[in-house]
Structure formats: structure tokens, C-alpha cells
Structure 1
């Protein structure tokens, strides 16, 4: 996997090779916070203004940077692979139950809406857990990683035991516990935009890797879930409904053991006390954040709103389709959970080559262009689906094309919401920007999963219409703040 990452993330511009990651790692060490704070003008502490970006030489990206350029800083390989691999695990564990969720719930007396709730409910409790966890993480990542691994293991064991206990709500309880593990989604994003270890021109590339693992999760997860359902394993403990929980728990144990061995966390923040007992470093950071908040302009708030809405809408639509496909295909095409899982997986797998290409070439383009392009592709899939529903011509081929366009478009669009916002905001805001984007993701996942579960009941045309309305609002915000969305590439 290491060589694959190196092949695609190493970035070349106009024939000029940038320094290898090894050189970057050897010369761009993680900055410490032991030095006394430097007094700077609040205006200078903020990111470069929009006018400065407009005046930048367009050939800047074509020139190879110095080996010690902090804008291209990267962490150690073991840590970076741990983050990308853990994100793949989280995505896999989120989606593996999609294929059989409705039948599992139905077997224990639940409805299709309840199955959609079990898919979306983890994000609610993940969101509730993020704020208290952020108070104790000390700006580091080892504790959140451990919590993620333990919560996924325990949550999926409870999910599997619901069959033996004949207790419907144990599925929901297991998913709630699993949701505590999904707090890791925010920390994976925060790590890939952390200015202490990630240069500003590496953030879009690393965000693209996270989205690639996202596509892996919603492809392989439903496929494995559907395959396990088909095989069956007919006994009260390990069967088509419960095997997803046992398999996910076992995989998580292995990943956790390997990841925590190789992962190197960022250094702890060193407190510097003066005679009055004041933490000068902490006070400096707090002062910088307060100054930045007080000086944000209307357009800057518009950029924040635009990125949050775009992030929400991407996961709202992806979540709606992922939870709706097993129900809709069973109703229209007579699909089993195995067939529905394969259908979801085929759409996701087809997007992987395009997402790999985006890793190679997206650093050459503005994030706002990538966002607009991805949204346009996704909207094409939505409009085509609406036409198929209106003409009653939903068959495998046409429906698959719609799902492929939706999956590719909105996955591609989701690569740049946090990276763009992190480039616009001060470095001290990294934790805050990661948090607001993750809450946007969560709100989209929850509402999208519920919408998908209710799609057939509310009418599929209405179901698609709601998604088009959500994207339309995002397009309006995007067009309104297009100029302000300009940021450094990479």
C-alpha cells in the first residue's frame, strides 16, 4: 500500500519533480510550541486576503519548491498510512450493514424506516460525543483512535447478539455504541489538515485519499455484507444477519493492533508558565482565535456557510441512495440483499479509477472548480433518475448509470470542502473547521439515511425532488461566493 500511495500522491507540475516524501519528512519536522509567542498584527495572522490570491503568479504552482518548504510538509509514513487505513475501516464498518439492514430489522419486527434509522443513528451519537472528546484529546490523536477501535468492536458485537436475544432495539443500541467510534471520521479529517504536520499544498491531496477510502467503504462494505447474507451460516450466533457484526469486530481488532504499533502522535503542547501562572502559549492561541472570529467579514462567513452546506448535501445524497437502493431494488427489481449489495458495490468500484485520477490531478485545480465539477456530475445522475421515474423506465442499466454518476459526483465534490475551508481560515482554527465540517457530514448522513429509508413510501419522485432542492441551494451559495472560494491549489 505504501508504494501505491507514493505513486499517486507524489506531485509533479509542468515536468518539474517535487521532492520526495522522504526528503520532506527529513527536513520538515513537526513544529513545537515551546518558543514564546511572536507578536504579530492580527491582520497578518490571518490567511492571505482574497486580493493577494488574485495577484499571485499563475506559474507559482509550476515551480518546484525547496525541499524544506513547509507548504509541502507531511508526517511519517507509518502515521499517514494508519490514518488512511483507519478511515477505510470506519467507512467499511459504516456501510457493511446496509445490504441486510432492512431484512434484519424486519425479521425482528422493525420497518424499513427503522432500518434507515439504524444506518443513520450512529452519526447522531458520534456528533454528541465529539465535543466532550475534543476537550480531552489534548490536540492529539491516540485517544480518539483507541476509542474508535473499542467502540466499533463492542458495538458490532451487540449488533450481532440482537438475533440471539430476539430484541430489535439491541440493533439500535449496537449502532449507537458504534457511533462513538465514528468520532474518528472527524479526527481523520483534522489530521489531514493539521498545520503542525500537513502543509497547505498537501491538504487537497490527502483529502482525496480519504475520499478514495470512502468509496472503498461504500463499495466493499455492502458487497461483503450482501455476500455474508447470501452464504447464511444458519445458526443462532453466526448467520446471514449477524456475521457482518462478528466479521467487522474481528477485522477491527487486527487493524487496531497494527495501527497503534506504527502510529506516531503529534507532540503534546508544552505549557509555559510565567510569574503570574499564565499559560502564555495557550493565551496566545486563544487570542489569535478571538481576533480571527471578530474580524471575519460577511463574505468569509458566506464561505463557511457554503462549505458546510456543500459538505452536508454530499453526504445527504450519498446516504439517501445507499439506504434506499436495497429497498427500492427489492420493490422494483426483486433484488435480495446480496444483489442490492452487489449493485451498490459495482457503482462504488466504478468510481475508484476516477477518484485515483483525481488524486493525481486535483492538486492542479482550484478546490472550487473540483467542487463545482463534482456537483454537476451528481446532479446529472439525479436528473436522469427523475426522467426514468417519470417515464417508468427503471431497469438495471439505466438505474446503474444514475447511481454511478451520483456516487462519482458527490464523492468527488466532498474531497475539497474541508481542505478549502482550512486554507481560508487561520491555522488556529483547524480544530473548529474540522468540527463544523464533520457536523455537516453527520447531519447529511442522518437525514439522508432516513430519507432513503422512506423514499418508496413518500414517492420516488418526491425523494429525488428533495435532493435536487438541496443541491440547488448549494449551487446558489457556490455561485454567490465564487470569488471568495479561491484558495491555493494542492
Structure 2
């Protein structure tokens, strides 16, 4: 009988362990609602197209209205500065969910594209800038797309790099489709003071966002909101369970027998104490990893943004190229299209290869493209083929490197830090985009060797960071 009981206990223990293991596996591989996930990834694609659709013709549009190449770089990059500013109020009122930011993004995307299109009719240069600034508020959604794909409430730890790879695929598609559409629409022209080669990208994108907004309203399912302090207190009172929580913001704690009417210092809230406790648990090596990922998030978008802004200007100025906006758009798009199969392969590789190795491969590829560009500038062998080889390598390498910046941090830091790391990475992205676009627009005037030399130096700093912290960058695959 005793032997039989021991056997039953072992069976029960094995069953419990198996159920626990199954539960852990399900937690690591969980995914959000499919329709909502498709909407978020599609939103990322639309925002990428919105960002890049003006690249091929913004230089000519600005010149027509009295601007110059540097101003066109500002037009391309300035939205990300306003995206960063708009995140401050949005994150204060979003309650940790996503539907409200989606609605805000759709509204400002429509408004911004309409303003950009009306600048031609109004013959007012700065209306282009105003329109792009309004678009910038919509681009705040970039952060929410990243946060959604790494949110531990809905995405398992072994799915985050995979979903981040989808975002990078959309990034590559937007980088190809946007300039191509902008160039084609410019080439068609449409001899109309309202709808023409300069304004048609704005009108078409505004119409697309109207349709997409309807789909968001109908199909997007937000994640459940966490209970508020008042709701927790109410539940506690109904169950007669004492809770040590601070009352809702703006109210003092209730008086106690020892309470004195003399002024006292208000005790710190549990949220503040929790944040301090979490900060104390972050090790020096983890701070190094955070700094490294923020640097690469800024670096990749600085280089990609500078090349996208510079290619139309450099192509038009180069003696043997003489590119029109249509030719520049096709060139940029061709680089993105030919990178696309490799970005799809990265989607599969991300499930089996560590994030740090993906980062290293992307950085090495991108650096190779920069070094090749220096050599063809020095030897004077700039032509369509040699320039394309540089652009393709730069685009593929630094797009691959952007895959892991947030997903790696989300795997190393506590789940409660996902919102903060999303903000840190996104602000780094925005900094890279806006400064890169301005640097790219100024590339010809500052000298192309100086232009690419700064980028090589920045990659060198990144290489020192990730080689120093190589062991600390190790995380789970997937």
C-alpha cells in the first residue's frame, strides 16, 4: 500500500511539473488578438510610407516655394521632433493601452497630409513644415507599435524579436514604397493647382488614413486596463481586506489617533517607492546594455535618415547622374525592394539566432557599405551601380540592426519597465531620424567625405560598446 501511495505521489508530481512546463511554454509563446496585431503592424507600415513618400520630391517642392536643400532635410526630419514632444501628454493619459493613441494618430495623419498638400495652392512654404509637424504627432504611434509588440501582458518573451522583425519588414516596405510612390506621382504630374506631382502624395495618404481609421474603430480590440487605485480600494472594502495603498491622487491620507494638525511631509507613494526599488535592482552591466541599445537605436535611424534625405540631393548634384525626383525615388525604392527578401529571411532567423548576433551582423554590413562609399568618393568612380551597392548594403545592414534594440531590452529588464524602455528607444529613434535627415540634406554642402566620415565614427563608438558588453547582451532567442 505504501509503495502504491509513493507511486501515485510521483505520478502527481510529474503531472504537476508537466502542467507547469506547458503553462510556462504557453506564456513564453503567447500572441495578442490577431486582428488587433494586424492593425498595429499595418499602422506601422502606413506611418513608414507617410514618412518616406515626400523624400523623392520634397527638395523640388521646397525649391518651388522658395526653400533649399537644407530646408527639404528639415521637412523630412522635423516630424520626429514633434512626435517626441507629443509622447509626453499621450503617455500621461493613455492608461497603458492603445486605442486612444491610434485615434489620435489617424486624426493628425489626415490633418498633416491635407496641410502638406494645400501648401502649393496657398503658395506658402511654411505650410509644408506645418503639415509635417502635424504628421509628427501621428508618428508618436511608432513608439506604441514597438511597445505593443513587446508588451509582456500580451506577447511572450520568445515572440518579441519575431514581432519586431515584422515591424522592420514594414520599415523596409515603407522605405521602398514611399519614395517610389512619391516619385511616380511627381512624374505623372497632374497639371492641376490642387492635385499635382507635389500635392498628390498628401491627398492620397489622407484618403488612405480615413479608410484605415474606420477599420481601427471597427476591429481593434484593446487590452484590458489594469484596475485603478479606487477600484482596488472598493474591492478591498467589499471583502473586508485591509490594503496599504495611497488614496487617489490629490487626497491626503485619513487622520489617525496620532495625527497632528501641524504640517508634515507627505509620504512617498507606492509607485515612487516601487520605481526606486526597481532602479536599485538594475545592475551596472544592465545600464550599459540600456545605453548601448539607445545608441544603436539612434545610430541606425540617423544613418538611414541621412542617406534617404541625401540621395535625391546628391543624385541631382552629381555630374554623371542628374537625377530627377522620379529617378531618386526609384533608386531609393530599388534598394528597399532588393533588401526585402533578406528582411523576410531575418524573420525566420530571429527565432533561432541571438539578438546580439543579429545586431553584430547588421552593423558589420552597414559599416561595409559606408567604407565602400568612401572608396568610390576618393577614386571618383561614383556611378549608378557603385552607389547602389553602397545604398543596398547600408539599408540592409542598419535595418537588420534595428530589429533587436527594444526586444533585447524587454527580455533583460523587468516587465514593468516595458513602457520606459519603449520610450527610451523611441526617443533615440526620433533623435536619429530628425538629425539624420538634416545632416543628409546638408551632405553636399558640408562635403560628402565629411558626411560619411561622421557616420563611420558613430558606428565605431557603437562597435566599442557592443564588443565591451558582448556577454551581457545575451538573451533568449525568438
TM-score range, shorter chain: 0.7 to 0.9
Kindly report which structure 2 residues correspond to 1:358-437, keeping only aligned pairs within 5 A, or say none. Answer: 358-437=346-425
- Determine the structure 2 residue equivalent to 1:27: none
Q: CA RMSD in A?
A: 1.7
How much has 1:234 moved relative to structure 2? 1.0
1:225 and 1:244 in contact (8 A); partners too: yes
Q: Would the alpha carbon gap of residues 216 and 300 (structure 1) be closer, same or farther in structure 2, given more than 3 Å must change?
A: same
Q: Match for 1:350 among 338, 361, 371?
A: 338
CA-CA distance at 1:280 after TM superposition: 9.2
| Partner residue of 2:190 out of 217, 233, 238 | 233
From 230, 245, 250, give the equivalent of 1:278. Answer: 245
Which residue number corresponds to residue 68 of structure 2?
A: 111
Between the aligned partners of 1:284 and 1:198, the Cα distance in structure 2 is 27
Q: Does 1:251 align with 2:251?
A: no
How far 1:67 sits from its partner (Å)?
8.7
Q: Deviations 1:281-318 (Å, cap 9, x if unpaired)?
A: 99766544321212222211111100000110000000
Distance 1:476 1:67, change over 3 A: closer
Counterparts of 2:464 and 2:277, CA distance in 1: 30
Q: Does structure 2 conserve the Cα–Cα contact (< 8 Å) formed by 1:95 and 1:221? A: yes
With normalisation by structure 1, the TM-score equals 0.85
Q: How does 1:173-188 map to 2 (within 5 A)?
A: 173-188=130-145
Alpha-carbon distance, 1:263 to partner: 1.0
- 1:167 maps to which residue? 124
The answer on whether the counterparts of 1:378 and 1:407 sit within 8 Å (CA) in structure 2 is yes
Distance 2:246 2:211 in 1: 40
Tell me if 1:135 matches 2:102: no
Does residue 311 in structure 1 map to residue 297 in structure 2?
yes
Match of 1:23 in 2: none
Residues 120, 199 of structure 2: 8 Å contact kept: yes
**If the length of structure 2 is used for normalisation, what is the TM-score?**
0.87
Q: Give the corresponding residue for 1:102.
A: 59
**How far is the alpha carbon of 1:320 from its aligned partner?**
0.3
Aligned counterpart in structure 1 of residue 310 of structure 2, from 306, 320, 324? 324
Q: Give 1:266's aligned residue.
A: 223
Q: In 2, Cα distance between the equivalents of 1:365 and 1:395?
A: 36
2:460 matches 1:472: yes
> Does the 8 A contact of 1:285 with 1:428 survive in 2?
no
The structure with the larger Rg is 2
For residues 169-208 of structure 1, what are the alpha-carbon distances to aligned partners after superposition, in whole Å with 9 as ceiling and x for unaligned?
0000000011000000000000000000000110000000
Q: Give the structure 2 partner of residue 295 of structure 1.
A: 281
Gapped regions of structure 2 (runs ≥ 5): 1-20, 238-242, 250-268
Would the aligned equivalents of 1:382 and 1:406 in 2 still touch at CA under 8 Å? yes
Instruction: Report deviation, 1:254.
Output: 1.3
Distance 1:280 1:360, change over 3 A: farther
- CA shift at 1:68, angstroms? 5.8
Name the CA shift for 1:338/1:434 in 2 (closer, same or farther; >3 Å): same
Number of aligned residues: 427
